[in-house]
């Protein structure tokens, strides 16, 4: 049998194509997982607050820091906007301003932060820190502290003081 060549059938080529697709999808999955963990700048303040409050509620305590979030002009936030699907009562959420020149409501401040409401006057980026405080026997207070993103550590220190 001289001159007879062994040929691979169509099934072999199809199987190689299927394996190539599986490998490509696996590589894509790894890359998307990696890119999902990278922050490409600031996110919206409302979504950031909701996420941080949810993390604190799920973990049972502690504090969470977002070094930078965008506050859109004319944004108005109340505790009901932040609690989302969590079992937290809106009366247990308090807003705090860590830097009066940034969020104290003065003429040059970007926003006015009161315990029950945030009113943004001009578009700004700031740091957000959320911590959980226990006062009384069963009450759990979620303190959301706002400050400029120039010094998120100062905002975190301020918020820690509100949660002790």
pLDDT tens per residue across span 95-119: 999 998 999 888 889 999 999 999 9
The answer to whether residue 1 scores a pLDDT higher than 60 is no
Q: Report yes or no on 155 lying in a domain.
A: yes
Question: Residue 6 burial by CB count (10 A; 0-12/13-18/19+): exposed, middle or buried?
Answer: exposed
Q: Report yes or no on 148 lying in a domain.
A: yes
Instruction: Please state the domain count of the chain.
Output: 1
The answer to whether residue 122 scores a pLDDT higher than 60 is yes
C-beta separation of 128 from 120 below 8 A:
no
Q: Report yes or no on 114 lying in a domain.
A: yes
C-beta separation of 47 from 74 below 8 A:
no
Q: Report yes or no on 88 lying in a domain.
A: yes
Other CB atoms within 10 A of residue 120 CB: 22
Mean of per-residue pLDDT scores for the chain = 85
Q: Report yes or no on 1 lying in a domain.
A: no
Residue range(s) defining the domain that contains residue 123: 43-162
Write the CATH number for 74: 2.60.40
pLDDT digits (tens, 9 = 90+) for 133-158: 876 655 678 999 999 888 889 999 99
The pTM is what?
Answer: 0.71
Q: Report yes or no on 98 lying in a domain.
A: yes
């Amino acid at each position: 049998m001289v001159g007879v060549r062994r040929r691979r059938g169509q099934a072999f080529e199809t199987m190689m194509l299927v394996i190539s697709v599986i490998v490509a999808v696996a590589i894509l999955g790894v890359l998307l997982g990696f890119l999902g963990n990278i922050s490409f700048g600031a996110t919206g303040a409302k979504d950031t607050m909701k996420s941080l409050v949810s993390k604190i509620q799920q973990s049972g305590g502690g504090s969470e820091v977002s070094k930078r979030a965008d506050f859109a002009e004319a944004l108005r936030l109340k505790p009901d906007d932040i609690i989302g699907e969590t079992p937290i009562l809106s009366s247990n959420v308090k807003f705090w301003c860590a830097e009066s020149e940034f969020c104290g409501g003065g003429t040059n401040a970007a926003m006015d932060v009161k315990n029950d409401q945030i009113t943004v006057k001009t578009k700004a980026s700031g740091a957000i820190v959320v911590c959980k405080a226990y006062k009384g026997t069963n009450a759990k207070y979620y303190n959301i502290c706002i400050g400029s993103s120039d010094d998120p550590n100062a905002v975190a220190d301020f918020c820690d003081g509100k949660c002790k």
